[in-house]
Structure 1
Amino acid sequence: MVFKRLLGSMGVGGPAVDTVLDLTTAAPGGSLTGEVRLTGGRAGFDIEHITLELVAHVEAETEGGEHEGTVAFERFHIGGGFRLAEAEHRSAPFAITLPWETPITQLHGQPLGIVLGVRTELGIAGARDKGDLDPLSVGPLPEQEAILEAFGQLGFGFKSADLELGRIGGTGQQLPFYQEIELTPPTQYAHQVNEIELTFLAHPGGLEVVLEADKRGSLFSGGHDALGRHHVSHVGAAHRDWNAVVGSWISQLLDAHTARAAHTPHSPYGHGAGHDAHTHKDDHGHHDGHRSGPGMGTVVAAGAAGLAVGVVGGMVAAEAVDEIGDFFEDDEDEDEDGGEEA
């Protein structure tokens, strides 16, 4: 998909920029290729640099409540140092590598409600202008897909997915945010837990899989969280019995959940250690203040990863697509209005 607009800082008659991505869907740790197409304006301009910036729409929980915003999580210099003549057409091809922890935005072609973008920035005459913003679709790694499929086969349903600003202590997390995929339990687990939150932290050698079982408190008792961490190698993932693997993870998690509720207020996994100032969970793994509710795109259509279909927060997939489009329009409007850069 191509978005085109004139560079606002250059005024009417300034150069225009299109960024064209070759792939419809990329993968974490994979290559993203395409080209930046420039068209000269009514005069010549010195293009000092062309930079691609990966951005994400994230949520942050603070003492003042929940906030949403845009976070830039990677930058790539792909060209510059030339003069773009009046009405000249020029292209700058690129091949960049996505971070391994890049969140997944879709599963079997169905959007999860995660919003990522590729922003093109031009440096012209000492000024910077964000001239183009394109949505970025990221599909799962094979083992991520297999794990999600296993949860679906075991009866879990997809509830929502979002990006949380902060770090999970004790992990090798690299990005300033992490993805949470919230799953609703099947009947046999419903009396033990309200939901399970799943986070993938991919790296060149494999995955860190972080699971959290959440049981919110009632009028007479507090809620309890239990956490589990598992390491999965990229090698041999296709030959594993993922239903059995994920089933054992769930059993361990719920056993820990029950033991914690009965005996101790502390997480047996030490999930809270090492959190920074923006962390989403406290030292016991509890969420600070408000829990994140369903975000946009909280419904995956039938068949996606075998997860049960449901409507959360009154939102359906088509409306999620509309809101994703609104995000990109709003972001570009802020740029044109002189808003702060991410």
Structure 2
Amino acid sequence: MVFKKLLGSLGVGGPTVDTVLEGGAVQPGGTLHGQLHLVGGNADFDIEQITLELVARVEAEHEDGETEGTVPFERFTVGGGFRLAEGERRTIPFAVTVPWETPVTELHGQPLGVVLGLRTELAVAGGKDKGDLDPLTVRPLPAQEAVLEAFGQLGFGFKSADLEYGHIGGTGQQLPFYQEVELTPAPQYAHAMREIEVTFLASPGGMEVVLEADKPGGLFSSGHDAVNRFTVSHQGIEQRDWTAEVDGWVRQLAAGHGAHGTHTPHDYGHGHGHGHGHGEHHHGDHHHRSGPGMGTVVAAGAAGLAVGVVGGMVAAEVVDEVGDFFEGDDEEGEEG
């Protein structure tokens, strides 16, 4: 029996867990429901703790270039403190609240190329079994969808979405990374910007929208970034003219009313959200121009952002990244 338990602690003949998520895609700040299906090993085991961990594939910039890695961003204890008999089957339901800043992975059912996972860990007396890793699908909040739809109505096209390691200063950001949705400019703004990046920082009280435009340089000057921040409410989404509001935001950026600087840590000025709040934006950790990143989705900008994503092609690298993330998890888990 002691030998069996030793083998179990090494992952041989130990208990196993299969995590089944329920209810489809979850929204940021929403409740994730599921069940844990445990099967006992070849001996009795004391299950000390069952943990769920949200993880994301995140890009990080450093002096030598850019790398990608798996970053955990939330952890929940959902069970433990019981003995699982040899061969016993047990089901444990769970309901956990995901962070408000959880990145969006799909729009209208189409993947954006952002990869999130839910890792289940069993802490067994004498060892730890990493358990299960399942893909996590997150759909946008109504306010997020309204803003993206408005960009589409204005003629902006979806270019890519990725997760960047770092913190946007001057905001209420809680997670160690932030999501960027990169858009190609609408024809009427093509002269004023090469692309625009949208970041949502949601919270229970509302949502910050950070816009960054890559502005082309003139004959004797290099290009620069212009950044504004706007605050919107989760309430009254359907009563607002989002197309006009977002157009106003973009006009401020195009006209240079947002602050700007070179690709080094710097401060930005005030972004005014049509009476919905404003604030100073210190964007010190963000000083790059990312090209088509992880999971580029090609879409037709003229057809509108939402329509473009739905009708676009998902590049092969999206599938590769998803596969690598989940298939390669054992290796990464050993390192951590």
Q: Identify the TM-score tier after normalising by the shorter chain.
A: 0.7 to 0.9
Q: Distance in 2 between matches of 1:108 and 1:142?
A: 12
The answer to whether the aligner puts 1:165 opposite 2:165 as a matched pair is yes
Change beyond 3 A, Cα 1:311–1:258: farther
How do 1:249-288 and structure 2 match up within 5 A?
Answer: 249-256=249-256, 267-269=268-270, 270-272=280-282, 275=284, 279=285, 281=286, 286-287=287-288
Deviation at 1:127, TM superposition (A): 2.6
User: 1:183 aligns to what?
Assistant: 183
Deviation at 1:323, TM superposition (A): 2.7
User: 2:94 aligns to what?
Assistant: 94
State the Cα deviation string for residues 95-135 of structure 1 (Å, max 9, x = none).
00010000000000000000100000111114322110000
How many residues are paired up? 315
Change beyond 3 A, Cα 1:64–1:8: farther
User: 1:149 aligns to what?
Assistant: 149
User: 1:248 aligns to what?
Assistant: 248
Structure 1 counterpart of 2:139, which letter? G
Q: Distance in 2 between matches of 1:301 and 1:109?
A: 15
Which of 318, 321, 336 is the aligned partner of 1:320?
318
Unaligned ranges ≥5, structure 1: 1-6
State the identity %: 67
Task: Describe the SS at the equivalent of 1:234.
Answer: coil
Report the TM-score, using the length of structure 2 for normalisation: 0.86
Q: Which structure shows the bigger proportion of residues in strand conformation?
A: 2
Deviation at 1:160, TM superposition (A): 0.6
Deviation at 1:174, TM superposition (A): 0.6
Query: Could you list the runs of 4 or more consecutive aligned residues of structure 1 that deviate by over 4 angstroms after TM superposition?
Result: 216-220, 257-261, 300-305, 309-312
Change beyond 3 A, Cα 1:92–1:13: same
Q: Distance in 2 between matches of 1:307 and 1:256?
A: 29
How do 1:28-39 and structure 2 match up within 5 A?
Answer: 28-39=28-39
Q: Distance in 1 between matches of 2:218 and 2:251?
A: 23
Deviation at 1:24, TM superposition (A): 1.6
User: 1:212 aligns to what?
Assistant: 212
Whether contact under 8 Å (1:53, 1:74) holds in the other structure is yes
User: 1:4 aligns to what?
Assistant: none
User: 2:294 aligns to what?
Assistant: 296
Change beyond 3 A, Cα 1:43–1:216: farther
User: 2:335 aligns to what?
Assistant: 339
8-17 vs 167-176, which moves further:
8-17
Change beyond 3 A, Cα 1:159–1:10: same
Structure 2 counterpart of 1:268, which letter? G
Change beyond 3 A, Cα 1:42–1:309: closer
User: 2:108 aligns to what?
Assistant: 108
**RMSD value over aligned CA atoms?**
2.6
Q: Distance in 2 between matches of 1:333 and 1:304?
A: 41
Whether contact under 8 Å (1:198, 1:209) holds in the other structure is yes
Unaligned ranges ≥5, structure 2: 1-6, 271-279
Task: Describe the SS at the equivalent of 2:297.
Answer: coil
Deviation at 1:142, TM superposition (A): 0.7
Change beyond 3 A, Cα 1:271–1:259: closer
Deviation at 1:68, TM superposition (A): 0.8
Whether contact under 8 Å (1:51, 1:79) holds in the other structure is yes
89-98 vs 251-260, which moves further:
251-260
User: 2:327 aligns to what?
Assistant: 329
Structure 2 counterpart of 1:293, which letter? G
